[in-house]
Copies of this chain bind each other. A is one copy, B any other.
């Protein structure tokens, strides 16, 4: 398959293949992205996050269908928690959207963390670029969970939609305090449930306290399952984008996202070099053993690693 030709003709198969190559850190994939990087920056990137049980996939599903009605192409990247055993992402939720997946204008991809040392963020960045190059107008990046990595991932979006739900219990305060700053639009899903109004009010109060003046994130009560409130929610997302664009904040946010990405790639490349060193010399294992035997400590070991790597680099550059 000629991936370059496939990409410019908008082939879903070519895009899917390229993302897999990125996940496997293929050099050819990176080369293709480099060549086509000038074609990026056109898609609107919408991050969707919130606590487990909030119904994020249903909300994403309904928003994607609405986007399709407007004759725009949509890509969904679902970022799922690690499963070291299965080595991949959980597709269960995605399979429910089978009516979407047969639509040529919809691309759905699950991405999971592989290995403890990350690399997911780099792969998600790469996948977004591929979707952007392939001509998708909207890219939804949905994350399961409300942890730090998930927050970092949605930070690359132009607009962050925070999906909340009534009755989350004690930890709601903690969640809200942690995510309040990154939400541009709030949805209280399952609003036919008891406590929906209270949840919305609580969010409004926290927004009052945050002291944002220029732009106030709207809070929308929705019932995604029954398609209630989805159009209003989408309008709110569009309005946020317009605000971002006109205020100049969009370029600021994208600048920040590029910085995060460059540093992420930089870190991953270094870890890759360490792993390569480890394969050829067992250097890392020997160092770890020294720490375990208390012959050295983790801080000194890290410095030593850094020194060894820069020596290697010198050798390569000579």
Contacts and interface: CB of A to CB of B under 8 A. Distances in A.
22 contacts: A30-B299, A34-B299, A37-B294, A37-B298, A52-B175, A56-B171, A57-B170, A81-B148, A81-B175, A90-B174, A118-B148, A144-B178, A146-B146, A148-B150, A149-B149, A259-B288, A262-B284, A262-B288, A262-B298, A265-B302, A267-B271, A310-B310
A169 B90 CA distance: 16
A108 to B, nearest CB: 16
A172 B266 contact: no
Interface string A86-125: 1000101100000000000000000001001110100001
Interface in A256-315: 258-263, 265-267, 269-271, 274, 284, 287-289, 291-292, 294, 297-303, 305-307, 309-310, 313-314
B52 A269 contact: no
Query: This chain: how many copies in the complex?
Result: 2
* Highest count of chain B CB atoms <10 Å: which of A57, A181, A266, A307: A266
Contacts of A309: 310
B151 A148 contact: no
Interface of A: 30, 33-34, 37-38, 41, 51-57, 80-86, 90, 92-93, 113, 116-118, 120, 125, 144-152, 155, 165, 168-175, 177-181, 210, 251, 254-255, 258-263, 265-267, 269-271, 274, 284, 287-289, 291-292, 294, 297-303, 305-307, 309-310, 313-314, 317
B302 A266 contact: yes
